[in-house]
């Protein structure tokens, strides 16, 4: 690829990675002051004012290229931002890690097309990338009809992606490996019908509704494949798993906030039967120590694996199977450890944890349980990791 000129026509003030992390911490403080849990139960999406605060903080631009004036933040920096937001509100953090994929997707488009689609750095992209609908080749692009799930933040996004299988002459097109050809189509939010079906255990504010379209035309230049070489150089675009790396901030932030809340509560809580302060009860002391250990171990594994991966990619060196495995396993481990921490603290706090309006533990429990249903949070994905460690190739470049 030819090097690109370091110029920018995109609007917006310059923000560094440290600026955005600072803004995220300030935003998290303001979010804590809002009664968002009750609002989520009513509207099942983020309030518009919160979305605009996320936009103003520069969080949507984390992956935007430097040639446009973006920060191209490292994976480690992005996890820190999402972690800070998740300490305050998991739904805000979840939508944020989805929306900032705009910059990643732009690297798979021709630069002029990307600049036209993203005239501002702080634009949001949502949607389901895995192929669940047929996209029929026509002159100049594709005709697609289908329905996709888990459109997190779709009510507020600028662009919606839709994973498709390419069809030609009413038959699926196969790639060089014999698999159906996977292509991701991008269209405006207004081109889809968003279904109001996000009634869930947790993460209620993400508005991760299904969305659908009928006979929608998408021009070729607004489509791409994560399995093809990107159009842009840079560590962010060196491997397609960039989409997943920042996810670990969700469980790390939820668990950290649960532990902080438990410590504050248990400092003054007294056992009703014995009259002994909870802070002096051995099982409580042990639970706090275990939770602290689980979070520390999970966080260290996440950042160690990301740093090793980023360093290799920055140097243009291939990842070892162990490094590829660690990048995936550390994320899953963070989700599973986060759930253990929240469940442990929920039980340790006792009956007062069940009141959603009096303590954060009910929300933490519902949010982490829901988050762990994502493919990245489930241990069933370890089968392909084990296969990689035993000599396999991994799954479609995302491992």
For residue 359, what pLDDT is reported? 85
- Of residues 397 and 361, more confidence is placed in 361
Mapped onto helix, strand or coil, the DSSP state of residue 167 is strand
For residue 4, what pLDDT is reported? 42
d(CA 309, CA 324): 8
Average pLDDT, the chain: 94
* Model pLDDT for residues 266-306, shown as the tens digit of each residue: 999 998 889 999 999 999 999 999 999 999 999 999 999 99
Residue 96 CA neighbour count, 13 Å, CB half:
37
CA-atom Rg of the chain in angstroms = 22
Distances in Å between the Cα of 361 and the Cα atoms of 24, 190, 262, 357 are 22, 37, 9, 10
Mean pLDDT of 248-263: 98
For the chain, give the number of residues: 399
**Is residue 215's pLDDT more than 70?**
yes
Mapped onto helix, strand or coil, the DSSP state of residue 394 is coil
Least confident stretch, 83-87, 166-170, 269-273, 319-323: 269-273
Neighbouring CB atoms inside 10 A of 391's CB total 7
For residue 273, what pLDDT is reported? 87
Q: What burial letters (b/e) apply to 37-69, b meaning 16+ CB within 10 Å? A: bebbeeebbbbeebbebbbebbbbbbbbbebbb
**Is residue 9's pLDDT more than 70?**
no
- CATH for 17-117 is 1.10.540.10
Give the model's confidence band at 31: pLDDT under 50 very low, under 70 low, under 90 confident, else very high. very high
Terminal Cα distance for the chain, rounded: 24
The domain at 125-224 falls in which architecture?
Answer: Beta Barrel (2.40)
**Is residue 187's pLDDT more than 70?**
yes
Give the model's confidence band at 12: pLDDT under 50 very low, under 70 low, under 90 confident, else very high. low
This prediction's pTM: 0.95
**Is residue 5's pLDDT more than 70?**
no
For residue 395, what pLDDT is reported? 64
Q: Domains of the chain: which residue ranges?
A: 17-117, 125-224, 238-389
- CATH for 238-389 is 1.20.140.10
**Is residue 2's pLDDT more than 80?**
no
Cβ distance 203 to 38 under 8 Å? no
Mean pLDDT of 50-65: 98
d(CA 55, CA 50): 9
d(CA 105, CA 103): 5
**Is residue 207's pLDDT more than 70?**
yes
- Which residue bears the tokens 């069940």? 354
d(CA 135, CA 231): 22
Tokens at 8, concatenated: 């920018």
Mean pLDDT of 56-68: 98
Portion of the chain with pLDDT greater than 90, in percent:
89
Cβ distance 312 to 318 under 8 Å? yes
Cβ distance 86 to 249 under 8 Å? yes
Neighbouring CB atoms inside 10 A of 187's CB total 20
Tokens at 42, concatenated: 């009513």
Give the model's confidence band at 10: pLDDT under 50 very low, under 70 low, under 90 confident, else very high. low
**Is residue 126's pLDDT more than 80?**
yes
């Amino acid at each position: 690829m030819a090097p690109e000129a370091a110029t920018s026509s995109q609007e917006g003030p310059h923000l560094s990675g440290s600026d955005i992390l600072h803004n995220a911490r300030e935003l998290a403080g303001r979010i804590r002051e809002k009664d968002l849990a009750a609002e989520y139960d009513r509207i099942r999406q983020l309030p518009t004012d919160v979305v605009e605060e996320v936009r103003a903080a520069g969080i949507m631009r984390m992956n935007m290229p430097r040639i446009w004036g973006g920060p191209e933040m490292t994976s480690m920096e992005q996890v820190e931002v999402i972690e800070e937001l998740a300490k305050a509100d998991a739904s805000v953090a979840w939508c944020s890690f989805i929306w900032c994929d705009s910059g990643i997707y732009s690297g798979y488009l021709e630069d002029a097309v990307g600049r036209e689609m993203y005239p501002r750095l702080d634009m949001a992209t949502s949607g389901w990338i895995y192929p669940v609908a047929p996209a029929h080749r026509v002159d100049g692009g594709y005709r697609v009809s289908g329905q996709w799930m888990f459109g997190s933040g779709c009510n507020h996004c600028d662009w919606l992606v839709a994973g498709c299988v390419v069809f030609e002459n009413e038959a699926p097109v196969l790639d060089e490996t014999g698999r159906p050809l996977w292509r991701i189509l991008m269209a405006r939010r207004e081109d889809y019908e968003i279904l109001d079906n996000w009634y869930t255990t947790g993460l209620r504010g993400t508005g991760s509704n299904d969305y659908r379209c009928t006979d929608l035309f998408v021009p070729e230049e607004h489509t791409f494949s994560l399995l093809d070489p990107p159009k842009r150089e840079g560590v962010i675009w060196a491997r397609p798993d960039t989409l997943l790396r920042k996810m670990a901030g969700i469980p790390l932030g939820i668990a950290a906030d649960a532990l902080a809340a438990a410590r504050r509560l248990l400092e003054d809580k007294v056992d009703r039967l014995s009259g002994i302060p909870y802070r002096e009860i051995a099982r409580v002391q042990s639970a706090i120590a275990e939770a602290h250990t689980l979070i520390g171990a999970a966080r260290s594994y996440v950042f160690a694996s990301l740093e090793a991966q980023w360093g290799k990619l920055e140097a243009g060196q291939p990842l070892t199977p162990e490094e590829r495995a660690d990048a995936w396993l550390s994320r899953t481990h963070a989700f599973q450890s986060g759930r253990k921490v929240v469940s442990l603290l929920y039980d340790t706090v006792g009956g007062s944890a069940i009141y959603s309006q009096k303590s954060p533990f009910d929300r933490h429990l519902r949010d982490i349980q829901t988050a762990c249903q994502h493919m990245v949070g489930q241990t069933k994905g370890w089968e392909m990791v084990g296969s990689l460690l035993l000599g396999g190739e991994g799954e479609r470049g995302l491992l």
